[in-house]
């Protein structure tokens, strides 16, 4: 930290909050609030005279409130930058610090918060994690029994710079201790608080146990656990070392801690699962290994940065396996536990990767994005005509569309990732996606269904999953019906209801609506929008009296080639089961309804030209007798 602060190209902005982030990759405008320290950074030399003179004492949050600090303070002696700070909530305005500072005149009570706007190319978010407060878990008595402490308090109690100068002692009577229990999974793997595993606490418990064992070899340490998870290289050997050192591992989550009110001794009753019986042990002190949770202000920061959150509250990465350090917004990267609990090696790896990603942006003059971005036809957008709409803005998973009533919607091209969710949702067909325009997709549908449409199965596949699944079915030589006609769009959210009506209007035998599994969507929430639309269509077609075998929704991943082949074969079998004359009658019957729903489609720009092209291709194919 000290080295980083000395680097000429690194500026450390301590005691500063991010207020607002605007713009896009390479061109962020970040508004920062530089909080008033009431000590002038250019004059303070860190001599601590003000702290010595200050008569006010408040709990030091850096020492987990186990030790006091003055109202004029630095949180720890290695603070960077070494500039004192006056806590205005605690200050009693005695101005003794001003006297103590003397000729330096560094203390300035007239300072105020300053708003600074900075131009930033790339942002790396490394805000870390918060700690679960075990007070609500009354069964462990944290806050009620003085000798029940959290892992972070233990960290301070055995730290040589901590409040006890490194000698471990009980909070109740300052005596040394012989028997220590560590309880794992306090608040994690617990559906009442946080259902997720906190990843590093097993190793953390073992580390602490070994450390204390080295400090006080005669100490008796037990670790209560549900499962010990030591998944990385060298971790299992560390676990072995701990067992060899005589640390007791007890499988079984304690139901509660009781305390002897006079001696403050603690008693843990738990089922020793490996022994198969309930045992009670006495301890001098209990350490609760509490869960890692998102920072308390993570929700706020996520809206400031405009990045989404995963179900646990952590920042959501672009792709859990392939791009774990990228945020869905280009130019914002994650490092460390703010994206999900992780230990130090993983945090370092992710931080280095994020820095490399950011330097890629800083070293290039231009930034390439996917060409399949959305475009608004301004003359068609109803918002420009004064109607309230904003559907596209709500549909966009990336916040790339600006909607203001009275002005037609605007796509921020640099933010657009090209999923086409807005195109699928727009009820006025006034937004389209380059390379997947309505005209282009319609042309493909018409070409594919030019000959004998009632025998065809039209498969809408999403680019990332089901198209890959179909590809795999082909390269793996899985046989499926030759009547299948595949059509690629970027995401199941792009599969506009109009396109499906058009397929049925042309008399398609069956339509497959396929995309990624819900958790695998390439575009954050694209699959969810697609699934909703598919469910709506399913209901509508049932109401129209369509045979249920003619519309199917399936989520197929790129690894499920066999599933793709099976689904197509099942659809073919179901289609074959419908008598031909019945099917034809149904197609004829539904045609007018589909036409009614498609009334707006022919007004879309580019459709007529595309259709001329379709007619040409179809006639060519028929002339040459190419199987269509």
Cβ proximity to other proteins, 269 vs 428, nearer residue: 269
Which of residues 262, 365, 479, 581 is near other proteins by CB under 8 A?
A: 262
172 in contact with other proteins (CB under 8 A): no
Which of residues 74, 199, 239, 259 is near other proteins by CB under 8 A?
A: 259
First to last CA, the chain: 67
CB of 98 to other proteins, least distance (A): 51
CB of 559 to other proteins, least distance (A): 26
Q: Which long-range contacts (CB under 8 A, 24 or more apart) does 98-104 make?
A: 99/53, 100/49, 100/50, 100/52, 100/53, 101/49, 101/50, 102/49, 104/43, 104/44, 104/45, 104/47
Span of 116-124, 259-267, 387-395, 405-413 interacting with other proteins by CB under 8 A = 259-267
Binding mask 197-236 for other proteins (x = CB under 8 A): -----------------------------xx---------
Cβ proximity to other proteins, 193 vs 478, nearer residue: 193
Separation between Cα atoms, residue 610 and residue 376, nearest integer Å: 19
Span of 240-248, 262-270, 433-441, 602-610 interacting with other proteins by CB under 8 A = 262-270
Binding mask 91-130 for other proteins (x = CB under 8 A): ----------------------------------------
Which of residues 255, 407, 482, 626 is near other proteins by CB under 8 A?
A: 255
| H or E element at residue 248 | strand 248-251
CB of 248 to other proteins, least distance (A): 16
Which of residues 8, 217, 234, 261 is near other proteins by CB under 8 A?
A: 261
Which of residues 8, 217, 276, 371 is near other proteins by CB under 8 A?
A: 276
Between CA 586 and CA 596, with CA 592 as vertex, the angle to 5 degrees is 135
258 in contact with other proteins (CB under 8 A): yes
260 in contact with other proteins (CB under 8 A): yes
Q: Name the β-bridge partners of 488.
A: 461
Is 114 buried (19+), middle (13-18) or exposed (0-12) by CB count in 10 A? Answer: exposed
| H or E element at residue 591 | helix 580-597
Q: How many residues bind other proteins (CB under 8 A)?
A: 32
Cβ proximity to other proteins, 137 vs 512, nearer residue: 137
Span of 89-97, 189-197, 302-310, 458-466 interacting with other proteins by CB under 8 A = 189-197
Q: Are strands 123-125 and 332-334 parallel, antiparallel or unpaired?
A: parallel
Query: What would the two tokens of residue 196 be?
Result: 């997720």
Residues 139 to 168: which contact other proteins by CB under 8 A?
A: 139, 141
Residues 235 to 254: which contact other proteins by CB under 8 A?
A: 251-254
Span of 154-162, 261-269, 354-362, 587-595 interacting with other proteins by CB under 8 A = 261-269
Q: Are strands 220-225 and 248-251 parallel, antiparallel or unpaired?
A: parallel
Separation between Cα atoms, residue 363 and residue 361, nearest integer Å: 5
Block residue for tokens 């005509």: 385
Query: What would the two tokens of residue 193 be?
Result: 């608080």
CB of 260 to other proteins, least distance (A): 5
Contact 555, 519 (CB under 8 A): no
Span of 148-156, 182-190, 385-393, 525-533 interacting with other proteins by CB under 8 A = 182-190
Instruction: Name the nearest CA neighbour of 154 among 173, 175, 178, 171.
Output: 171
Beta carbons within 8 Å of 186's beta carbon, 6+ residues apart: 132, 134, 137, 140, 288, 289, 290, 291
| Binding region for other proteins (CB under 8 A) | 138-139, 141, 185, 189-192, 226-227, 251-262, 267, 269-273, 276-278, 280
């Amino acid at each position: 930290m000290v080295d980083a602060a000395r680097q000429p190209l690194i500026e450390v902005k301590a005691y500063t909050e991010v207020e607002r982030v605007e713009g896009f990759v390479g061109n962020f405008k970040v508004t920062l609030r530089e909080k008033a320290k009431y000590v002038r950074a250019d004059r303070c030399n860190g001599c601590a005279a003000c702290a010595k003179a200050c008569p006010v004492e408040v709990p030091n949050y850096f020492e987990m409130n186990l030790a006091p600090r003055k109202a004029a303070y630095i949180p720890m002696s290695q603070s960077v930058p070494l500039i004192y700070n006056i806590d205005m909530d605690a200050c009693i305005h005695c101005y003794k610090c001003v006297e103590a500072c003397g000729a330096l005149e560094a203390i300035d009570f007239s300072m105020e918060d300053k708003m600074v706007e900075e131009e930033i190319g790339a942002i790396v978010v490394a805000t870390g994690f918060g700690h679960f407060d075990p007070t609500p878990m009354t069964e462990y008595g944290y806050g009620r029994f003085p000798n029940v402490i959290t892992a972070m308090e233990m960290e301070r109690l055995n730290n040589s710079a901590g409040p006890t100068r490194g000698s471990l002692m009980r909070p109740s009577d300052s005596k040394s201790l012989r028997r220590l229990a560590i309880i794992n999974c306090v608040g994690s793997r617990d559906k009442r608080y946080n259902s997720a595993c906190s990843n590093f606490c097993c190793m953390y418990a073992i580390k602490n146990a070994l450390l204390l064992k080295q400090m006080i070899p005669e100490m008796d340490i037990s670790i209560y656990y549900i499962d010990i998870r030591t998944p990385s290289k060298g971790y299992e050997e560390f676990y072995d070392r701990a067992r060899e050192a005589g640390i007791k591992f007890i499988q079984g989550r304690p139901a509660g801690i009781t305390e002897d009110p006079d001696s403050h001794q603690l008693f843990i009753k738990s089922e020793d699962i490996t022994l198969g019986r309930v045992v009670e042990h006495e301890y001098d002190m209990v350490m609760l290994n509490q869960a890692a949770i998102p920072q308390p202000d993570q929700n706020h920061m996520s809206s400031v940065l405009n990045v989404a959150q995963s179900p646990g509250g952590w920042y959501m990465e672009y792709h859990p396996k392939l791009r774990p350090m990228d945020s869905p917004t280009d130019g914002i990267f994650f490092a460390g536990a703010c994206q999900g609990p992780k230990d130090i090696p993983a945090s370092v790896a992710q931080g280095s990767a994020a820095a490399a990603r950011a330097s890629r942006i800083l070293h290039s003059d231009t930034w390439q994005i996917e060409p399949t971005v959305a475009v608004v036809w301004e003359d068609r957008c109803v918002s420009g005509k004064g109607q309230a709409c904003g559907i596209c803005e709500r549909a966009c998973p990336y916040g790339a569309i600006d909607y203001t009533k009275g002005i037609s919607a605007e796509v921020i091209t640099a933010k657009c990732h090209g999923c086409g969710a807005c195109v699928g949702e727009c009820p006025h067909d006034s937004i389209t996606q380059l390379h997947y325009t309505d005209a282009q997709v319609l042309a493909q549908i018409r070409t594919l269904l030019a000959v004998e449409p009632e025998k065809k199965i039209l498969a809408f596949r999403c680019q990332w999953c089901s198209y890959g699944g179909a590809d795999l079915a082909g390269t793996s030589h899985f046989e499926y019906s030759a009547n299948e006609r595949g059509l690629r769009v970027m995401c199941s959210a792009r599969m506009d209801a109009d396109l499906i009506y058009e397929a049925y209007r042309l008399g398609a035998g069956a339509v497959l609506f396929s995309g990624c599994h819900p958790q695998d969507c390439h575009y954050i929430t694209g699959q969810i929008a697609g699934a909703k639309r598919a469910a709506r269509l399913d209901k509508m077609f049932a109401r129209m009296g369509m045979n249920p075998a003619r519309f199917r929704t399936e989520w197929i991943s790129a690894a499920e080639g066999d599933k793709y082949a099976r689904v197509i074969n099942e659809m073919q079998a179901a289609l074959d089961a419908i008598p031909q004359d019945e099917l034809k009658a149904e197609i004829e019957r539904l045609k007018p309804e589909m036409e009614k729903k498609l009334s707006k489609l022919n007004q879309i720009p580019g459709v007529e030209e595309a259709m001329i092209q379709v007619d040409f291709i179809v006639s060519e194919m028929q002339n040459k007798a190419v199987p269509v």
